Amino acid sequence: MNVKFSKPNIYEEDLKLVKKTIKSGWLTHGKNTSLFEQKFKAYTNSKYSITVSSCTAALHLSCLALDLKKGDEVIVPAMSHTATSHSVEYTGAKTVFVDIDFKTGNIDTDKILKKITKNTKAIIIVHMAGLSCEIDLILKICKKYKIKLIEDCAHSVGTKFQSTHVGNFGISGCFSFYPTKQITTGEGGMLITNNKSFYNKIKKLKAFGIDKDINQRKKQGTYDVKSLGFNYRLTDFQSALGLKQILNYKNNLKQRHLIAKKYIKSLKNVDEVKCMPYSNNCSFFVFQIFCKNRDKLLKKFKEKKIGVSIHYATPLPSMTYYKNRYNLSMVNFKKAKVYANTNISLPVYPSLQLKEQDKVIRVIKEFYGYY
Ligand SMILES: Cc1ncc(COP(=O)(O)O)c(C=O)c1O
């Protein structure tokens, strides 16, 4: 029995809408796009939401809309996908890395202060594996030093902080619909914000800088461009897929919690393995464990045909681009290094069968001699 690392939560019913959309011939900025945006806005309880071609695009647009430029500094956690820091680099601003809190994998709030200078314009936080950062404390810092907050919510559809969906605390929340994510459109993303003028800026930046969208044009094809923009749109058939999944997301999230609880219960006596913390507010993009002899266990998973992953294997400051650009040493990112060397992401998608999860658990226990 092979166990996959991830499986999209897509049903026949969802594919019908995708097919219908493709057959209609209206393939981009159509009905499904606005419906998906509306439903996502309702799910996250935010004022504005806008589909984009990826979370990277959402992060890039957020940095641009904040007018980040050369000479500005942006604080980013040392442990994330490279898209988080790349979005800063695209603007010419400087990425300033902060080590993580090993318990959560999130930015170490206590270490943020030491990295703030007169040039610090923004902080990008990542809610690792769907577990929220200490947003209240981070917001206090942002307020005190007049720094903008961007939330990288690539792991976090369904994550809450004190009963508010994440992405609502910063100027923007940037979500990913990459295939391994809780919701997928193949490639794709969503940006949420509660700020009207920021939303209007993003809308223009996302589509070439054009001042009127298709429904606002008096005469076909007439519009003006007052500033540069990109083509970061999501297609309407991708939106159809996303729309169906956000409508069914409650059940998806419920299953993730059941699977996470079972991992925690089953592995609690395995001294060599530490599980990520459980929280009702977590959305469990993956279920992370931290283990002794990690690489040997990875080999065992491969041998037993169990798909797992690592988030992430290389801390951002030790990636060649960043290491050379900023002359960085890992001495300042010790926790990120340990995290990178010990974590494994286990499957936690809703269609994971009981017997498949049992196999994952059995392989771990056997590996450490608990059977
Ligand atoms: C934390 C984080 N941020 C950003 C991204 C980029 O997302 P996308 O692939 O949708 O551009 C990812 C991708 O997995 C991610 O994990």
Which of 54, 176, 286 is the pocket-test mutation for ligand 1 (most atoms within 8 Å of CB)? 176
Mutate to test the pocket of ligand 1, among 52, 81, 175, 285 (most ligand atoms within 8 A of CB): 81
Q: Are 73 and 60 in contact (CB under 8 A)?
A: no
CATH dotted code for 12-247: 3.40.640.10
pLDDT tens digits for 108-125? 999 999 999 999 999 999
pLDDT at 371 over 80: no
Residue 345: per-residue pLDDT: 98
SS3 assignment, position 345: strand
C-beta separation of 3 from 347 below 8 A: yes
pLDDT in tens, 58-80: 999 999 999 999 999 999 999 99
Determine the topology of domain 249-367 in CATH: Aspartate Aminotransferase, domain 1 (3.90.1150)
pLDDT, residue 101, reads 97
Residues with CB under 6 A from ligand 1: 54-56, 80-81, 83-84, 126, 152, 154-155, 176, 178, 189
Say whether 249-367 and 12-247 share the same fold.
no
Residue to substitute in 56, 107, 175, 286 for testing ligand 1 pocket (most ligand atoms within 8 angstroms of CB) = 56
Sorted by where each begins, the domain ranges of the chain are: 12-247, 249-367
> Is residue 126 predicted with pLDDT exceeding 80?
yes
Secondary structure of 73-88 as H, E, C letters: EEEEECCCCHHHHHHH
**Centroid of ligand 1 to alpha carbon of 55 (angstroms):** 6
The answer to whether the predicted template modeling score (pTM) of the entire model surpasses 0.85 is yes
Nearest atom within ligand 1 for CA of residue 56: 11
Ligand 1 midpoint to CA 176 (Å):
6
Residue type, 365: K
Q: Whose CA is nearest to atom 7 of ligand 1?
A: 55
Q: How far, in Å, CA of 226 to CA of 197, rounded?
A: 16
